Structure 1
Amino acid sequence: MPISQHTKIARKLSEDLRLRPATLADAPLVAQMHVQSWVTAYRGILPDAFLDHELPAERAAHWAHRMTEIEAGAGEVLIAEAGETPIGFVCVANPDDSGSVLVDNLHALPGYKGAGAGSAMLRAAKAWARERGARQLHLYVLEANRAAIGFYESRGWQLAGREDDHMGGIDLIALRYTLALD
């Protein structure tokens, strides 16, 4: 039976995937990957005008500021690379007062979804949180982002609440998910 292209990509990722800490110089790369991910994942959820025209500048400004905070000790961003190719990133924030680490962002580029990069980044986020004495992880996912919800739920994350959110000029619902650390 022939090996599917997806299986080939997954096998290649397992051999070549590495995670490296991002630096302030990586802010444009992280912003670019964030845009690529949102344009695909949020098409039909957020307005096209926002995704196509406003998002690149908005994410560039966001990550320029956020990476300054990260470099000052607010958390960490890890960039997933397959060989020399950046394929995603995860951003984690220091534990809050309740001992929970926010997975602020986790994005695999569209061509690499389902190939194991997201799972590898989640494992790294768990390890990072445990090293800091955290008891759990939490994150927010848009209620309409069914693919992301399925990804997290299949990995044991539990729905913990709903919150109003506002993105791209529209009101949305963000779901809070948590994962207890063993």
Structure 2
Amino acid sequence: MPIFGHTEHQPILRLRKATRADTKLIARMHTESWAAAYRGILPDDFLDKEAPIERVAHWEKRMVELEAGEGIALIAELDAVPVGFVCLANPDASGSVLVDNLHALPGYRGTGAGSAMLDAAKAWARERGASRLHLLVLEDNRPAIGFYESRGWRFAAREYDHMGGIDLVSLVYSYELD
């Protein structure tokens, strides 16, 4: 029973379209997410020193592309605090939307932000006539693989990748839209 005068606050999760003004925010969230998720997979030196610089440069270019109509980035906010982002590319020739990035900040995993971003990705893809979504996840990133599989994503292919100065395997996962 609530104490008189006290009400439970239900956090409000919202997604908003990112703009170029959000470039540094997205780069910071991307770097923080990588540092947590890829520790032990990618070299520490890369995660701590190179990735922060490289992600700013990447997102400066990517946001220009998105504003030119090549896709969209959405920022997830929990009570107006940025907690993650998703970036989507326009459907390809096969009718599939690439989930180019989906990251929730380490302290906010389990809040529903990731699921909300996936739901928004599905809706955005459907609005563009896409029949599926696809993404790449590092083979050693077991928590992310579990997250996607628990939400109906299926393994589709294996690709070789190079990141942080090392060779890696990325797994392609896809989700069929109904």
Correspondence for 1:43: 39
How far apart, in 2, do the equivalents of 1:84 and 1:126 lie?
23
Letter in 2 for 1:63: W
Alignment partner of 1:110 is 2:106: yes
Correspondence for 1:61: 57
How far apart, in 1, do the equivalents of 2:22 and 2:86 lie?
13
Q: SS of the residue aligned with 2:155?
A: strand
Q: Deviations over 1:48-100 (max 9, x none)?
A: 00001101000000000000000000000000001221000000000000000
Q: Deviations over 1:121-179 (max 9, x none)?
A: 00000000000000000000000000000000000000000000000000000000000
Letter in 1 for 2:131: R
Q: Whose Rg is larger?
A: 2
Alignment partner of 1:22 is 2:18: yes
CA offset at residue 12 of structure 1? 3.6
Correspondence for 1:173: 169
CA offset at residue 32 of structure 1? 0.3
Correspondence for 1:138: 134
Gaps of 5+ in 2: 1-7
Alignment partner of 1:101 is 2:97: yes
Identity of aligned residues (%): 70
Correspondence for 1:155: 151
Letter in 2 for 1:66: R
How far apart, in 2, do the equivalents of 1:21 and 1:115 lie?
20
Q: Deviations over 1:4-25 (max 9, x none)?
A: xxxx9xx844xx1000000011
Alignment partner of 1:71 is 2:52: no
Gaps of 5+ in 1: 1-7
How far apart, in 2, do the equivalents of 1:90 and 1:12 lie?
23
How far apart, in 2, do the equivalents of 1:131 and 1:166 lie?
33
User: What's the RMSD between the two structures over aligned residues?
Assistant: 1.1
Letter in 2 for 1:77: A
Aligned residues: 171
The TM-score normalised by the length of structure 2 is 0.94
How far apart, in 2, do the equivalents of 1:80 and 1:146 lie?
23
Letter in 2 for 1:116: G
Q: SS of the residue aligned with 2:173?
A: strand
How far apart, in 1, do the equivalents of 2:58 and 2:47 lie?
15
Larger helix percent: 1
Letter in 2 for 1:94: N
How far apart, in 2, do the equivalents of 1:134 and 1:98 lie?
8
